[in-house]
Amino acid sequence: MKAYERLLKYVVVRTPSDETSDTVPSSKCQFDLAGILVDELKELGVEAHVDEQCYVYGKIPATPGYESSPKIGFIAHMDTVSDFCDHEIVPVLHPDYDGKDLVLGESGRTLEVSAFPHLPELKGRTLITTDGTTVLGADDKAGIAEIMTMIERINEENIPHGPIRVAFTPDEEIGTGASHFNVPEFDADFGYTLDGDTEGEIQYENFNACKADFEITGFSVHPGSSKDTMINASLVACEINNMLPGCETPRGTEGYEGFYHLVSMSGDVGKAELHYFLRDHDANMFESRQKTLRLIEKDLNEKWGEGTVKLTITQQYKNMSTIIKDCMHLIENAKTACENANVPAQILPIRGGTDGCQLSFKGLPCPNLGTGGHAYHGPYEHITVEGMDLVTDVVIEIVKLYAEQN
């Protein structure tokens, strides 16, 4: 079975995670896909199971004579974002795509070159989209499909390999995909997540990340008699945001540039809240951003009265480059694998995080590879049949390279 055929099978099983839930997994529907994957792994001869927290684990013993090769793991996540995932997902194939604007069904949406300038590079390929009303779910079911297809191919083509481990995780999209990952049970020396974009992407530098929540307590009195008395919490919230550099937002930054991201805001005269994500690749700059918010809290409490502004900062994840720098063979072998598969390698920073960054700090060094997908987390998500085939080729080449190190 081709990787794209598996993708078409997986994406119709809706698996949105739920950030408001306090269960693990955050949504029971993720078990639906987990069960399918365990059955499929067993059909491929893999020792596999799903645990009570919806983590799927599989083990493939080494080809005789290759038992001393490094144990390499491949990981992808089963959940999708909850946005645009509230009804049936209908994947659509567009053979021999012309590289131009593409109308997505009757949704009123168009996949436009002006918004996605890489589209002409996909000319001649078979493009996979939805009908324009939902996410596709290639993030990250494409990664799952490519790992499964790799397993099938090494079996069918009798490709010698060392010990291989696979895992499929829940709740990556809400930041907890690695929280309950059993690293000792996984039993790998190193790993790769398949959760990136364009085929050939190799990523080992991610953001340092935290969330910052402001709670503003105002003083509400009748507006007709509030001279020098009222403290409007919503206006203080606006003041906080205006004290941040306007160009350091996701829209205004790229590459290694960090940002303050206002995720949501709410309030009235008496109470208001601001919720931010802070991101930066550089650890010192990351700390500086947090100090800026603490200074804003201090200054506004001095201006409006102690207790008006309360800031809570919650750490989320760190830059895994501090771990990967001690095992750069993961990056060099991935580059060589791309070369062997005739795929241009692209070493790019992750403007976000993956399960791999958290797993790296839990003792499993785990850079990220592209799956061939684009425009994740919305109705414009798309991927190509050919791109998925190339990613599968790259993964197989990685398996071969580590088999040689026995």
Residues catalogued as catalytic = 79, 172
Which structure tokens are listed for 328?
């750069």
Q: Which residues pair with 313 in a beta bridge?
A: 212
3-state secondary structure of 332: helix
Number of H helices, E strands in the chain: 10, 18
Q: Count CB atoms within 10 A of the CB of residue 158.
A: 8
- Answer whether the bond into residue 171 is a cis peptide, omega within 30°: no
CA separation for the pair 227, 368 (Å, rounded)? 57
Q: How far is CA 87 from CA 14, 51, 83, 138, 185, in A?
A: 8, 27, 11, 16, 36
Which structure tokens are listed for 123?
């000319």
Q: Count CB atoms within 10 A of the CB of residue 332.
A: 12
Q: How far is CA 11 from CA 61, 74, 103, in A?
A: 29, 20, 21
Radius of gyration (C-alpha) of the chain in whole angstroms: 23
Q: What is the 3-state secondary structure (H, E, C) of 249-304?
A: CHHHCCCCCCEEEEEEEEECCCEEEEEEEEEECCHHHHHHHHHHHHHHHHHHHHHH
